[in-house]
Structures are given as structure tokens and as C-alpha cells.
Amino acid sequence: MSLSAFDYLHDPRRNKGTSFTDAERDALGLRGLLPPRVTTQPEQQARVLDNFRQKSSPLEKYIYLISLMDRNEHLFYRMVMEHVEEIMPIIYTPTVGEACVKFGQIFRRPRGLYVTATDRGRVKRILQNWPERDIGMIVVTDGERILGLGDLGANGMGIPIGKLSLYTACAGVNPALCLPVTIDVGTNRAELRSDPLYLGLLQERVRGALYDELVEEFVLAVQEVFPGAVIQFEDFATENAIRLLARFRDRVCCFNDDIQGTAAVTLAGLLSAARITGEPITEQRVLFLGAGSAATGIADLIASAMARDGIALGEARTHCWFVDSHGLVVQSRRAELAEHKLPYAHDHAPAADLLAAIEALRPTAIVGVSAQPRTFTEPVVRAMARINARPIIFPLSNPTSKSECTAEEAYHWSEGRAVFASGSPFEPVPLGARTLLPGQGNNAYIFPGVGLGVIVSRATRVTDTMFYAAARTLATGVSQASLDSGLLYPRLRDIRQVSAAIAEAVAEVAYAEGLARAPRPADLTGEIQRHMYDATYPVYAEPGRV
């Protein structure tokens, strides 16, 4: 089928705007449909960057960038790739949280697919409505636990859209291979259901067998319509997140980023922190505030990492402790605990709160995954600093408004001795003659590279060994200079190189575990690079050949 001039101008994957050359304008019938001056992609980028920086708020910047993605994908991704440190906080955490809250208000154009509770029996037909067939990566949410903001229903679509944009910007996964999906089963927030701008189903959430049947139908339909696609479960509530991962991980190629991606980036942070504190991972005692799917997922990967270094798995689990809303998770509370907490219900006296648990357990690290802001209080941080020469403080809850403490608080209350990483970004902190650079334990360091490695190797499953390899690779990539400045992760500007290295490590695991359907190339590094998306404009017509 031949394409019209308007197809080229209005398809964001083909559109080059004023960068269509004279030869292309003649060959494609664009002459007169554009201003006469031909501009280069860098010139367009300078104009867009200037307009972006003039926007008055992060949300306005988000709207501007999403509009750019809707009309010119190459230019959007070129912008993100070359200014990732400035733009990532806009297209993902923390600004994406506000964008989800106001999703109906700022809605401009649909992106992705919506599968609803009313679509049982026809999910396959809905997936077939997507114009692409060669899908490599699907990010799906049911909107029940968006970041630390809770149940946002169909408004949660901003998360799959944002995650997939990072697959491309950070790891070079071609955007044509990416599909965001929201499974809309309703929302239990009455204020959303009564909001005239809300775009989802106006009903309470479907639970139980009907919910399970819909998710099962979706997963099976993906295998038929998009065989080989990786399914990333994102921002499901704890019970469903754990249950769905257990249900599907050995049946299809899937993973849960909140559980496994967060675990890998946290493990990488601890491995980097060990280089600062001088205490290996096997000597860490980690106390979690929060005991949901993310927390226990992190503990599982830490325990398996310790086991790889020679500690029995059962003993390794005793290095991980949890404080939930009822206090320290201990053996005497087993009857009331959810199943995912039971491996970490150790034999110990109760402790009422985080501070009491710190005094009793004397942990080397505290990890916040509670979505309860300012719960790493001054007494908590000072207690950690009294017990440890270099206390490890990881407030990981997103967005920034949910962080357990700020970088400034952690550094000042610990007299500059905290080894710090957070889930959302914080500005550098001046402290005496030094300026400390707080690291961000962003899952974007992990999931894009994992996805790329799985796509290149055409792995049939995503395993915990792959996430362990990703964490080790990420930690290895941190320079001593970065550690000296306070950073536990590579600089974001290097994230494409980091993601390529992770992709290679993940692919190697797929080949070693017999999970790869693609034959192992002689030059795996080169094969990874060949798969990475180039945001430079394609050439549609050569000068002199029209």
C-alpha cells in the first residue's frame, strides 16, 4: 500500500517535520505542505529544548513532551537520549505520578490498548486491533497501586506509557516493538468514579474468579497474537502482584518490575554500598520499612545473592527483617501474617516500630518501601548513624512526596556519613566543604536492559538469575569517583551503555540456562548494539535520485 504525503506528516514514526529534505519533499509529495526552509534534526532539537525549558511546571513539561512523542517519535527520543538526566524525572518519576492523577484532565490522544472487565471472551480480538504484530515488550497494569499513590484505575495508563518510553530511551528497544496495556477492572476510589473527566469504567473493582479469568485470558491471548512478547506486570496491588507472578512466571515470558526490577536495583545499590562500608553483602543486616511485594522481592534476591556467596539460604534470610504496620515481623505473629512474609518471620521479641527494631536488631541498612513519607525520622537516622560508621539509608518509595526521607535529611542527621540512595531524584547536598550527590535507585537502570537482553536472545522465560546478573553488572559499572561523590549507581547520562552491558549479561544467562530461542551470535556485544534503536531520522529519498 502506497503512503500519501499526509501519512508521512501525521505518522509519528515517519514524520520528520521541517527536516524532510528537498529530495524527500519532491519524492513524497510534500512540496508546499511544509515551510520552505529545511532544518536539521539538531536544529529542531534546539527549538524543542528551548520550548521545553520555558514551560512553567513539571506537568506542563510532561504534556509538551508527550505531545512531541505523538507527532515525531525520532525527535522525542533524540531529546530524551541526549538530555536524559533532565528529562527522565519528567517522563517518569516523580512527574508521571502527577500525570496519572490528572490523566483524564490532560488527555490528548489515546496510546496503547485498554482491556476492560466487560471484554471477557473477546480479549484476543482487542489485541488484534493493534496495528503492529511484531511486539517484543508489553507493559501491563491494572492501575491498583500506581507508585505510592494507590488505586488510580484507568488513569494508571501513564505508567506503561512512561515505562516503555524508557525501554527505548535507555536501552534502545525499538518503539514499534512496545505496547502499553491497561486492564481496567474498575476503581474503588469514589472520587474518580464521580469525576466527569475520568475515562475508565465507572464501577468498583472486579475481584476473585472474574478478575483471574480476565487476566488469564489476556496472558493467553498475548501468546497467540504476539508470540514471544515479554509481559511486564506493573503496579499491581501486593496480593495480585505476588500471585500473578507465581502463576505465570514458569508458563510464559514475564516478570514483575515492582518485585524483581526493584530487587535488582536495590541489590546493586547494596553491592556498591559494600565497597564504601567495607562490609561484604554477606555481612549486611537489612531492615525494611514496609512488607509488601517490593520489600519481600528485594529480600528474596538479597538472600539468594548471599547464598551464592556461600551462606545457606535459610541463614541468609535471617539477615533480612521487616517492620509492617503492626511492628516487627516475628515468629509469634505467624498466624496473622500474609504468606509472602512468613519466610522472614524470625524468632525474636516483638518491636513496636522502626526505631525500636533498629535498637534491637542493629541493622547495617534500612530500606523504605512503605509509601509512608517522612518515616525515616531524625531519631531513626541518628540511631543508624550511632550504630554504623557508614549507615546505609535507602528511602525508595515513589514519587518524591512519598519518600521516607530526603537526601538532605539523611546526610545532615548522619553528619555526612550516610550511604544514600532514593527512589526519586534529589538535588546535590552541600555539606561543609563537600557536595554530596545522592544516588537514585531507579528501576530504569535494570528493566530496559533486561528487556533488551530477553528480546535479543528470544528467551522463553525471565529468571531470577537474570536479575542477579543485571544487579551485578550494574554495580560493577560504578566508578570509584562516583562512589567518592556519594553515587551508588552510574550516572544517568551513561544509561544506554549500562543497559547494553546488562542486556548482554541477561542474554548470556538465557544461553547458559537453555532458554534462548535465538542462536548465540559470534559477536553478542555487536548483536546487542545492532538491535538498539537509532533516533536519527531515516532517509526516504537520496538527492539526485528523484
User: Active-site residue numbers?
Assistant: 92, 163
Stretch (H or E) spanning 273: helix 262-277
Burial class from Cβ neighbours inside 10 Å (0-12, 13-18, 19+) for residue 412 reads: middle
Q: Which of 205, 257, 239 is nearest to 93 (CA)?
A: 257
CA distances from 259 to 255, 292, 467 (A): 8, 9, 11
Q: Which residues on adjacent β-strands are paired with residue 128?
A: none
Query: CA–CA separation, 116 vs 123, rounded Å?
Result: 9
**Is 69 in a helix, a strand, or coil?**
helix
CA distances from 480 to 419, 443, 488 (A): 14, 22, 10
Q: Dihedrals φ, ψ of 40, to 5°?
A: -80, 165
* List of long-range contacts for 150-153, beta carbons under 8 Å, 24+ apart: 150/189, 151/187, 151/188, 151/189, 151/205, 151/237, 152/100, 152/101, 152/103, 152/187, 152/189, 152/192, 153/184, 153/186, 153/187, 153/189, 153/192, 153/198, 153/200, 153/201
Stretch (H or E) spanning 368: strand 365-368
Q: Which of 391, 392, 526, 408 is nearest to 456 (CA)?
A: 526
Q: Which of 185, 169, 173 is nearest to 83 (CA)?
A: 169
CA distances from 421 to 114, 385, 395, 439 (A): 35, 16, 7, 5
Query: CA–CA separation, 80 vs 87, rounded Å?
Result: 6
C-beta separation of 369 from 298 below 8 A: yes
C-beta separation of 474 from 500 below 8 A: no
Residue 546 sits at the vertex; the CA angle it makes with 29 and 13, to the nearest 5 degrees, is 50
* Cβ-based neighbour number of residue 157 at 10 Å: 28
What is the grid cell recorded at 78? 533524540
Q: Which of 77, 254, 236, 257 is nearest to 172 (CA)?
A: 77
* Cβ-based neighbour number of residue 477 at 10 Å: 19
* Cβ-based neighbour number of residue 131 at 10 Å: 6
Residues sharing a CB contact under 8 Å with residue 477, sequence separation 6 or more, in sequence order: 490, 494, 497, 498, 501
